[in-house]
Amino acid sequence: MIRLLVLDVDGTMTDGGVYYDATGNELKKFAIKDGAGLVLARTAGIRVMICTGRECEAVRRRAADLKITDIYQNVGKKAAFLRDFMAENGYARDDVAYCGDDLNDLAAMALCGFVACPADAAPEVRARADYICPQRGGEGAVRGAVEKILRGDGRWNDAVKKAFQVEL
């Protein structure tokens, strides 16, 4: 059963674009549907981690909005970082899911029991993925991955009921 969900940012939680305002601040567009999916993941007992190769205040802000405390930016070697994190926190391969979109995610994905990617991920990532979300990066792909995980192990209905006080 998945206990940790690792998320890439650019191209997964966002559309992969980099936007700058007039003062040079980097801006990113995040999907609200992904936020709802992450609320469901946490409600179902899944720890959520952001692991990205870049540093951006917008990512820190989005993580805070979503109450994600495991946020790691400027991670150059994601596989080595994730391997150490899993060992230090007692996670086995089958406990961990990864959602990413590009070549720099492949080595970390190999450590995980379930791999998802957005519809517009690199061909090599789509070939490695256990599930290709119908959504593109930044358009609800993270929500799609969470839904696949929770429906797959029977936690979906309970998570929806607890998180949103809705019966399905």
Structure-token pair, residue 65: 């909005």
pTM recorded for the entire structure: 0.96
Instruction: Return binding residues for substrate.
Output: 10
> Do 163 and 142 contact (CB within 8 A), yes or no?
no
Structural domains present in the chain: 4-164 (3.40.50.1000)
Residue 134 is classified by DSSP as S
Q: What is the pLDDT of residues 103-138, one digit of tens each?
A: 999 999 999 999 999 999 999 999 999 999 999 999
Structure-token pair, residue 145: 């991955």
Instruction: Return binding residues for Mg(2+).
Output: 8, 101
Instruction: Return binding residues.
Output: 8, 10, 101
152 burial via Cβ count (<10 Å: 0-12, 13-18, 19+): middle
Q: What is the pLDDT of residues 41-63, one digit of tens each?
A: 999 999 999 999 999 999 999 99
Q: Report the C-alpha gap between 55 and 51 in whole angstroms.
A: 10
152 — pLDDT class (breaks 50, 70, 90): very high
Residue 136 is classified by DSSP as P
Q: Report the C-alpha gap between 168 and 159 in whole angstroms.
A: 10
- Ramachandran angles phi, psi of 91, nearest 5°: -95, 130
> Do 48 and 70 contact (CB within 8 A), yes or no?
yes
